[in-house]
Amino acid sequence: MSWKLLQYSVLFAGLMLISAGQAAPASPDPPSNDDCLTCHGKPDASSKLGDGEALSLYVDRQIFAHSVHGGKLACTNCHTNITAVPHAARQFKDRRAMSLAYYESCKECHFAEYTRLLDGVHYAALEKGKEKAPTCVDCHGSHAMGPPARPRKQISATCAQCHVAVGAAYARSAHSDALAKGNADVPVCTDCHRAHDNANPLTTASHLRISELCAHCHTNEKLMAKYGISTQVLTTYLADFHGMTASLHRSEGLKSAMLTATCTDCHGVHDITWVKGPASGVIKANLLIRCQHCHKGAGPNFSSAWLGHYEPSLRHAPLVYLTKLFYMFFIPFVVGGLIIQILLHLWRVVVNI
């Protein structure tokens, strides 16, 4: 061994000793998963909550190993307050209090999702003291957590755990039908409502954004061509009275206004059905009922004032088409005639000079 190598070896050994000496006395190694499972791996491990409910403390080693965090995280990454085993018994007044005590562990890694959650309607409810408002684990699960959104239809099922009536309405929709058949084109809850920063859907601002939400897919030529659905739905809506009002109200940032009809007011909010199906709210026989929701006293002729997303043509709304056509010729004819009269007049004046 050369002198130089010996020098380096002594230096390296010394550094190892110093670093070990610094770390070791301050905090011993956190308990390993095996340490935890010594107790929590026993199926009968349980504890009594403040409200008397028995809480199982059992964690299935296999289930955790197959979860999305299996092999990546140690128990103490989330259960950060456990620094040694055995640990003192922890007291929670009920199951919910325990969940709420732990949900902030996730932000250590998933900080972006956490900050988005802070902008959402669920966090706002939680902040107001509504303990039932969902936190991370209520949607994502805990030890058995799989990758999010797989399978995709799991998302609607997750939301429906609390939003029962909405879930049932969605289940009647054309989107849900396709989803059940494994179609990935259709929207699930989070496509419209977002996953973490869900806005309150009942505000004026949310209402005025709806056409944009629907248009996200319904103006996509490639996507709509698969189903033979027109992509003119947005432009025809925006060109009409309701759509124009909605987009202007939106640009004005109106907080409270008499809301004008948007996609969901005619097509349904969650139970959106295929427009040509017999149960459709927008086929002529049913549309009037939707109109009457705002236009009290509207008679049977009223609903055909709306041209059903069709551009006027000889086939659809011929009277509107012909009126348009008439003015296309009549305006240039009259204006042209007047200009000719003016020019003749001026010319004669010039000639007379």
Partner 1 sequence: MNEYIVRFSVRQRIEHFSVMILFLALGLTGFAQKFVDSPWAIWTINTIGGIDRVRWLHRAAGVMFTVFAMVHISIALFMVLTRRSRPSMIASRKDFQDAITQLRYYLRISDNPARFDRFDYRQKFEYWGMVLGGMLMIATGFMLLYPVIVTRLLPGEFIPVARVAHSNEGLLAFLIVIIWHIFNAHLSPEVFPFDPSIFTGKVSREYMEKEHPLEYARIMREDEEKREAETDEAP
Interacting residues with partner 1 (CB under 8 A): 241, 244-245, 248-249, 251-252, 254, 257, 295-299, 301-307, 312, 317, 319-320, 323-324, 327, 330-331, 334-335, 338-339, 341-342, 344-349, 351
Taking the CA of residue 169 as centre, how many other CA atoms within 13 Å lie in the half-sphere pointing to its CB?
12
H or E segment to which residue 48 belongs: strand 46-48
Under 8 Å between Cβ of 52 and 95: no
Instruction: Give whichever of 229 and 257 is closer to partner 1, judged by the CB atom.
Output: 257
Closer residue to partner 1, CB minimum distance, 112 or 344: 344
Q: Which of 116/295 has CB closer to partner 1?
A: 295
Query: Which is nearest to 196 in space by CA: 305, 115, 289, 253?
Result: 115
Would you say 223 or 307 has its CB closer to partner 1? 307
Alpha-helical runs (H) found in the chain: 3-26, 33-40, 61-66, 75-78, 95-102, 111-118, 121-127, 136-140, 153-160, 164-171, 174-180, 189-193, 204-218, 221-225, 233-239, 241-251, 263-267, 284-294, 318-352
Rounded least distance, CB 209 to partner 1, Å: 17
Is the backbone peptide bond immediately before 151 cis, with ω within 30 degrees of 0? yes
- Token pair 């806005």 in the structure block, residue: 199
Q: Name the 3-class secondary structure at 138.
A: helix
Distance, in Å, from the CA atom of 176 to the CA atom of 353, rounded to the nearest integer, reads: 81
Contact 219, 233 (CB under 8 A): yes
Cβ closer to partner 1: 145 or 307? 307
Write down the least CB distance from residue 294 to partner 1, Å: 10
Nearest CB to partner 1, comparing residues 168 and 334:
334
Least gap, CB of 255 to partner 1 (angstroms): 12
**Of 17 and 305, CB closest to partner 1:** 305
Q: Distance of alpha carbon 227 from its chain centroid, rounded?
A: 23
